[in-house]
Amino acid sequence: MAKWRNPKSNTVNLKATTAVPNPQPVDHATGRSISPIVAAALCIKTRGMLTANQAAKVDALKKDWPEFATMRRLAMRFRGMLKSKSVGKLGSWLKDAQKSGLYAMQHFARTAQRDVDAVKNAIAEPWSNGQTEGQINRLKALKRTMYGRAGPELLRARLLPA
């Protein structure tokens, strides 16, 4: 028996070492395994936005991993809340995410609950700070590439348009 500790509840669970872990889901069209990154991207796309190949992957993921179906359902509900600006549905969504049994969704719900007023404002308000964050990210990336190599003159030349 192998022991593993749940970091959140600090409980120890025993797992037989002879048990084979769930294999990675396979795309039945190609026979290749579906990566977690692809699965995450497909989790938040609506059925209408999926290509035929992507829809087949979603169906394979739902069939092979019931947890994916639960996560996709919660992600689609959250996406719908954002699109429809339905702040009233946030409380029930947070409760459902906590009860889902999926660590990632429970963690996301706990984090959102910490600053629920900001989440409600993000759902209800039309404003976004995406442009500002993008410019800050670009500036920091430039500064990282130039660290220790040049002075303010070169930084100014790279930041300002020619």
Secondary structure (H, E, C), the chain? CEEEECCCCCCEEEECCCCCCCCCCECCCCCCECCHHHHHHHHCCCHHHCCHHHHHHHHHHHHHCHHHHHHHHHHHHHHHHHHHCCHHHHHHHHHHHHHCCCHHHHHHHHHHHHCHHHHHHHHHCCCCCHHHHHHHHHHHHHHHHHCCCCCHHHHHHHHCCC
pLDDT at position 110: 95
- Average pLDDT for runs of 10 along the chain of length 162: 50 44 69 84 91 90 90 94 93 95 93 93 88 90 74 73 63
pLDDT at position 77: 95
pLDDT at position 63: 87
pLDDT at position 23: 65
pLDDT at position 20: 43
pLDDT at position 17: 40
